[in-house]
Amino acid sequence: MRTASNPPPVIAIDGPTASGKGTVAMRVADQLSFHYLDSGALYRLVAFASEEAGISVDDESGLGAIASRMQVIFKDNKIFLNGKDVTKLIREEKIGTRASRLAIYPKVRDALLTLQREFRQNPGLVADGRDMASRIFTDAVLKVYLTASVQARAERRYKQLIAKGISARMNVLLQDLQERDARDINRGTAPLQRVEGAYLLDTSDLSVDQAVTQVLNWYAKLHH
Ligand code: DC
């Protein structure tokens, strides 16, 4: 029997934008039959909802209020916000950029805290984001810092967008990625960082399969 001192295990996968951590995290969760949390989607939802409501990206209180009022449902690989399917809408680059801008505010981050921790359920959770290991699940059994070179990430993001029928320009993507990295790494609250004890996984030259296998191997080793 599990007790409060023995909560469901968490695998935390943090890393910069377009590093492939979402794909890897989802596949690892699938392999282990664990739940999956895409925490970035929550920040994107705040970005989307606040834009629709006409709330400025400088209005911390307004953004915090929106974040605490959102009704979010993750179902069958779709994301519903207040009953509306926004799966595709929140993937737009301008929403990602807006998410990164409002993610600097403590009121926004605090409003999403409980929501994120609710995903921790048996038999376990794979959570990806920026502060999964450093703040949300500090007791994660496995912490991975998953990254790739800026060039590799820009190319992946480009292919992703084109495949989805969204137009994109490589030089714009590269610049946006670098700006987003700087913002996520340098902010005062819960910045992107590789915490002590986190395994470094550079996927610049790895396939998704290889990255998934590496994470599963690290996880399997915990039990020996
Ligand atoms: O992972 P992503 O690109 O979907 O995330 C969008 C933005 O949300 C990212 O640039 C910063 C923010 N974010 C965050 O601050 N903390 C997280 N745990 C996840 C995302």
pLDDT in tens, 161-181: 898 888 889 999 999 999 999
How many A from CA of 105 to the centre of ligand 1? 12
Probe residue for ligand 1, chosen from 130, 131, 134, 136 as the CB with the greatest number of ligand atoms within 8 Å:
130
Contact predicate 126/8, CB 8 Å? no
Going through the chain in order, the beta strands assigned E by DSSP cover 10-14, 35-38, 72-75, 78-81, 84-85, 125-129, 142-147, 199-202
The whole-angstrom separation of Cα 118 and Cα 7 is 12
Of 38, 39, 156, the one to substitute when testing ligand 1's pocket (max ligand atoms within 8 A of C-beta) is 39
Q: Do 119 and 139 contact (CB within 8 A), yes or no?
A: no
Q: How far apart are CA 67 and CA 22, in angstroms?
A: 22
CATH superfamily of this structure's domain 9-34+123-219? P-loop containing nucleotide triphosphate hydrolases (3.40.50.300)
Of 45, 42, 43, 37, which Cα lies nearest the Cα of 21?
A: 37
Average pLDDT along the chain:
93
Please enumerate, by residue number, every residue annotated as part of a binding site. 15-23
CATH homologous superfamily for the domain 40-122: P-loop containing nucleotide triphosphate hydrolases (3.40.50.300)
Neighbours of 100 (CB within 10 A): 23
Torsion of CA 63, 49, 184, 190, to 10 degrees: 50
Q: Would you say the pTM of this structure is higher than 0.85?
A: yes
Higher pLDDT, 164 or 218: 218
Atom of ligand 1 nearest to the CA of 22: 1
46-103, pLDDT tens digit by residue?
999 999 999 999 999 999 999 999 999 999 889 999 999 999 999 888 999 999 999 9
Domains 9-34+123-219 and 40-122 share a fold: yes
Per-residue pLDDT averaged across 215-223, rounded?
A: 94
Q: Whose CA is nearest to atom 9 of ligand 1?
A: 100
Query: What's the token pair of residue 159?
Result: 């292919």
Ligand 1: residues whose CB is within 6 Å?
Answer: 17, 39-40, 43-44, 96, 99-100, 103, 129-131, 180, 184
Which pLDDT score is estimated for 4?
A: 57
The domain segmentation of the chain, as residue ranges, is 9-34+123-219, 40-122
Peptide bond into 123 cis (omega under 30): yes
